[in-house]
Structure 1
Amino acid sequence: MPPMPTVQDAAEKDPSDAHAGHDAHAGHDAHAGHDAHSSHDAHAGHGGHGDHVGQFRRLFWIMLALAVPVVTFSPMFADLVGYELPHDGWTTWISPVLGSVVYLWGGRPFLTGAISEIRSRKPGMMLLIGLAITVAFVASVGASLGVLHHELDFWWELTLLVVIMLLGHWIEMRSLAQTTSALDSLAALLPDEAERVEGDQVVRVAPADLQMGDVVLVRPGGSVPADGRVVQGSASMDESMVTGESVTVRRQVGDPVVAGTVATDSGLRVEVTATGDETTLAGIQRLVADAQSSSSRAQRLADRAAGWLFWFALVAAGVTAVVWSLVGLPDSAVVRAITVLVIACPHALGLAIPLVVSIATERAARGGVLVKDRLALERMRTVEAVLFDKTGTLTKGEPAVTATEPVDGRTVEEILALAAAAESDSEHPLARAIVAAAQSSGLSILDSSGFTSSPAVGVTATVEGRTVRVGGPYLLAEHEAEELPVAQAWHAEGATVLHVVVDGEVVGALRVADEIRPESREAVEALHTLGVQVVMITGDAQPVAEAVARELGIDRVFAGVRPEDKSAKVAQLQREGLSVAFVGDGVNDAPALAQADVGIAIGAGTDVAIASAGVILASSDPRSVLSVMELSRASYRKMKQNLWWAAGYNLAAVPLAAGILAPVGFVLPMSVGAMLMSVSTVVVALNAQLLRRLDLRPEVSAREILSS
């Protein structure tokens, strides 16, 4: 991974608010009751701060304990089950007294939420629940005091309603707390202490106390406490928590290292180059938080549906009360109206989208996919053409020896070994490519002496008593020699051709070109499997581009395109009616990334603040594009399933709650209605949790697509 610039805040918001998006279901409008009452201690757990989930759990168990005697000493429940209550006068007040405690204490989160929704003029789920339990409470008090008919004694139903609602909220909050663990787990990557080198001593300090220029010691198996640059030692670094790539990367003197990465095999000394909110880890946290709190089309649809359901429930409850009153059953009118209010709460609908988004962005971050724009993620499932920038995306962006041609009597290994020996003292990129090729082939670099370099000609060195020269056409001209026959074909493909000359005799040639990533073939093949057109754009000449396209099976090529003209090519594809995702390295691709329906910056590594990209891939694996598609499609499926379940449940359950089947003898009890409402919430929460099984590793996504 190349050195990357310092992370900047992509969201233009105070980093201290990074968790704010989690509060109250990420701030969607129709469900604003959560937001409004998130300040309440018991229910603030939506924000994922502190032990609020534990507080809600304890509140549920306390209310459940109080509910047992309330239900047991309820005359209506005793008649329903078939047992007799003691005739002592004091027992008749057990249910009213404890039921009032349950209403005032256990129902407080819903009552405060209802008040907040009224103040914000955004009626929603909390107002419905608060209205239902308040009507039940007032009716029960009136019945207990003898003011109202005894059949309006709802203490046991009211108590069970509160208990069941608390259970549903507890489960919901546990689910939300699990999603916000993405941010907590990112923060946990930092060590508790850093070892700062001060002269001959090593002092333990908190990572927050580190400053720019400090040198820290990272022991084998230890985490890097802040972004920095290696000043001593080398180690294989586990960077999977940042890039999603499981293979360790060798870091040595001069290389950048990222806060939270782990030195697996040896120790390092690292000079700190960024701390606190400027680190890569902080940038990733901001992106995850922003993505989880941002809006989307699906969310706005859920918001509108939740708002409609509130008025639908209110009107349905009013109509229910009127109809039952007209048929001469005013007591049943109250019961049925309360049941409608309870069962029609759009609670599950309010949870349907935020929970999916939170889990999806968490899974994405763990897989090295950073979602900046949820709309871009939603659009990814409908992309019809993926436009890849060639250099640095489909290829490695650096020269590599791709072929070696020896003359008769020589071997490939001999030519490569001689060329590497002659080039070993050169810092030229072509020289480094030749030396790297020899090393990867297991060849020993021979000793050389007398190294000289001539611009535009080549290098000369003495190797085992022989004069070895490596260079291009001018070198051959000096020796009045001809190119090897294969050189013409290599030139036609846009490759650089270097000849090896030993003691004045041409002994072989090397083909040097930008190396194609081995993962690119699988990425292109998998995209074709999905029915997606693959297009390549490059500034290279047409022969070079066509050679790469032939090797990878790419459908279409734009060659000789200047960086500033890439966006015009994206627009051209869009005018053809295609939904386009542009995949580039983010260095000079900003206009094209912005023009595309989905802009994907690939190989960003530690630079997570590319403003023009909607999705940032920390790894350089082009198969990561498939991970984004997989995430987009899976998230959409879960959103759609949750919306259908939540909205469909409400629309089907309200008529039952109103008593539409009363003529055939079926009347839905209020407590059962409350239970069904909570079951709906739990089903939506559990369905969203299934996204956690999604494996977004690039190789896994490609394998699953190709095998499907």
Structure 2
Amino acid sequence: MLEGNIIVETFAVGDDTRVGQITKMIEEAPVFDTRVGNFAASVANRFVMPTLALAGLSLLLSAGNIAQAASLLMFDLGTGLRVSVPTAIMAALTRAGSQGLLIRSGRALEQLETIDVVVFDKTGTLTEGHPSIVHVSVFDDSGALIPSPTSKQVHERLQLSTSLEQGLNHPIAKAIRDYAEEAEVSVIECESWDYRVGRGVCAQVNGQTVLLGNSKLLEEERVEIPSFESDPKLRVATPIYLSVNGRLASIHYALDQVRPDTADMIAELHRRGIEAHMLTGDIAPVAHAVAKDIGLKPEEVHSDALPDQKAELVQHFTAQGKKVVFVGDGINDSAALAYADVSVSFASGSDLARETADIVLTNDRVSDLIVAQDLARHTFSLVKQNIGIVGVPNLSALVIGTFLPVSPIAAVFLNNGSCLVAAANAIRALGFQAKELPTRSSVSPEVSPSAESDTAVDVPAESLVNQVVPLNQPRGSSLPLKLTELSERVGVSYQKISARRRRDDFSSWIAEHDPDGFQWTYCKDSNLYNVMAA
């Protein structure tokens, strides 16, 4: 503001604000012991008294030979274990960095080795976190769906929607603003504006009461959602309802692409006997449709969830004695991250989520969670090997030395030698190599922009275009196509194409579906697909 005055009305301060409440929940979360090697240290401590007892027995059997009894005291398991275990942990943490994993403590590795449940926030975790509007349904004043709305009807509703979403950083708010910007829709100033967490926005615009949000918001305001026949292809798209003066005006459908590695990761978790649960604020039909496509079981889906319920679900599982991993990237995920045994976030997540998380996935690949567990298992297999490397020779010599003389020099050599061998074995964690994630026959959401879209706005976004482009070109020519055009040609959903285009085998994969066997390549700069003869 360059001139004039700004009047700010404050409704909550300090601990009463949303961030303050989240911070309070984090402070009340349990504080875990961050020391590493607890298991190995406890193993070593168990042998202190037996070692002293055997040394005393040797003193009696050797008729007071103090040198022989003292030799037995050299066989100390604690030294080898207390050196080798931290060495393995530090080597693993170092190796994790080169694998795109920022692991803050050895305790996270210890817990990750034997997890029981992984809870995922959906948006931005299992999905890309960049939804786009793929369809708009328009309703008249009587609540009936308008099959072919005019440009003016769509423009009016889109103008109200984008006006209410100004200033919000929610992904769906950004999707609506981007949609409106491409359609060159102007913004109207709101006379009053109220944001409701987990529900949407209420505002006064040009004397009209306007609501924009999910079904919960409309239910609270007693706005009826009429029954109508919706396109089944929109089953995985999130509906955003717009009502004006108590009547439904339009529904915006936002589609957030599932991460290309999500389905394979879920399948691998199930193969390992680990439960995978998805938390989402979406309505049940949408949530279950997405869950089915990525391989989640119906009982692993938690729909219509509010931000506060995330931490409650984590506490529910921990109360059952299960080790819980929570994966999320938003401010609202921070409390759940704090309550989980192991918390995971992304480098692109919110500052609070990154600071709270035990593990940060710096490559922003959710499948790196599998890599992290493989590293944890590899590390603690080395720890268990080191227990044997240190324990077997020392315990054997301890028993033998009870009845036969063992020189102090031999005892020191054996004890220190096993310690060095164990430390050298621990360094092998630096050589950990991540295995390629087993692929699952991925089934992407069969959602595409409707050929008879209710939107009449001339928007150049490829997500709003669905045309059939016949290719009668000679083999070997190059013809750039849009994503939806290529999808129509090869008979594969554009979600699958979008997910597979990042892989090295994309050209050969798409050639298997192309009617002429063309191999296609994706140009990131133009966002088009070029073809060459197969």
- Which residue matches 2:271? 529
- Which residue matches 2:485? none
Cα distance in 2 for residues equivalent to 1:303 and 1:613: 26
**Number of residue pairs matched by the alignment:** 332
**How far does the alpha carbon of each residue in 1:458-478 deviate from its partner, in whole angstroms, 9 at most, with x for none?**
xxxxxxxxxxxxxxxxxxxxx
- Which residue matches 1:626? 370
- Report whether the alignment pairs 1:325 with 2:68: no
Deviation at 1:687, TM superposition (A): 1.9
- Which residue matches 1:341? 73
Residue identity in the other structure for 1:620: D
- Pairing partner for 1:687 from 400, 418, 425: 425
Q: 1:512 to 1:311 in 2, by over 3 A?
A: closer
- Pairing partner for 1:295 from 35, 58, 61: 35
Deviation at 1:613, TM superposition (A): 2.8
- Which residue matches 1:516? 258
346-355 vs 524-533, which deviates more? 346-355
- Report the TM-score when normalising by structure 1: 0.41
Q: Is the 8 A contact 2:327 2:345 kept in 1?
A: yes
Q: Is the 8 A contact 2:344 2:357 kept in 1?
A: yes
Q: 1:643 to 1:606 in 2, by over 3 A?
A: farther
- Which residue matches 1:646? 390
Q: Is the 8 A contact 1:529 1:705 kept in 2?
A: no
Residue identity in the other structure for 1:657: G
- Report the TM-score when normalising by structure 2: 0.53
**How far does the alpha carbon of each residue in 1:682-708 deviate from its partner, in whole angstroms, 9 at most, with x for none?**
221122122122135xxx4524999xx
- Pairing partner for 2:400 from 645, 656, 660: 656
Cα distance in 2 for residues equivalent to 1:495 and 1:532: 28
Cα distance in 2 for residues equivalent to 1:595 and 1:677: 42
- Pairing partner for 2:311 from 562, 567, 570: 567
Cα distance in 2 for residues equivalent to 1:627 and 1:534: 16
Q: 1:435 to 1:368 in 2, by over 3 A?
A: farther
Q: Over aligned residues, Cα RMSD in angstroms?
A: 4.3
- Pairing partner for 1:613 from 350, 357, 371: 357
**How far does the alpha carbon of each residue in 1:490-525 deviate from its partner, in whole angstroms, 9 at most, with x for none?**
45433469xxxxxxxxxxxx9751111111112112
Residue identity in the other structure for 1:702: L
Q: Is the 8 A contact 1:606 1:618 kept in 2?
A: no
Question: By percentage of residues, which structure has more helix?
Answer: 1
Cα distance in 2 for residues equivalent to 1:704 and 1:652: 47
Whichever of the two has the greater Rg, that structure is 1
Deviation at 1:433, TM superposition (A): 6.7
Identity, in percent, stands at 27
**How far does the alpha carbon of each residue in 1:42-79 deviate from its partner, in whole angstroms, 9 at most, with x for none?**
xxxxxxxxxxxxxxxxxxxxxxxxxxxxxxxxxxxxxx
- Which residue matches 2:231? 488
Q: Is the 8 A contact 1:580 1:597 kept in 2?
A: yes
- Pairing partner for 1:551 from 278, 285, 293: 293
- Which residue matches 2:95? 363
* Alignment of structure 1 residues 113-152 onto 2, 5 Å: none
Cα distance in 1 for residues equivalent to 2:331 and 2:74: 55
Cα distance in 2 for residues equivalent to 1:452 and 1:612: 40
Deviation at 1:624, TM superposition (A): 1.6
Q: 1:595 to 1:307 in 2, by over 3 A?
A: closer
- Pairing partner for 1:702 from 437, 446, 452: 437
Cα distance in 1 for residues equivalent to 2:401 and 2:117: 49
Cα distance in 2 for residues equivalent to 1:402 and 1:365: 38
- Pairing partner for 1:597 from 341, 350, 359: 341
**How far does the alpha carbon of each residue in 1:216-265 deviate from its partner, in whole angstroms, 9 at most, with x for none?**
xxxxxxxxxxxxxxxxxxxxxxxxxxxxxxxxxxxxxxxxxxxxxxxxxx
Deviation at 1:349, TM superposition (A): 2.3
**How far does the alpha carbon of each residue in 1:647-678 deviate from its partner, in whole angstroms, 9 at most, with x for none?**
343222112234x2x4xxxx545443333223
* Alignment of structure 1 residues 116-515 onto 2, 5 Å: 294-296=34-36, 299-307=37-45, 309=47, 312-325=50-63, 333-344=65-76, 346-400=78-132, 429-430=174-175, 451=184, 453=186, 488-495=231-238, 512-515=254-257
Residue identity in the other structure for 1:613: A
Cα distance in 2 for residues equivalent to 1:655 and 1:615: 44
Cα distance in 2 for residues equivalent to 1:600 and 1:336: 53
Deviation at 1:362, TM superposition (A): 1.6
Higher relative contact order (CA 8 A, sep 6+): 2
Deviation at 1:541, TM superposition (A): 1.8
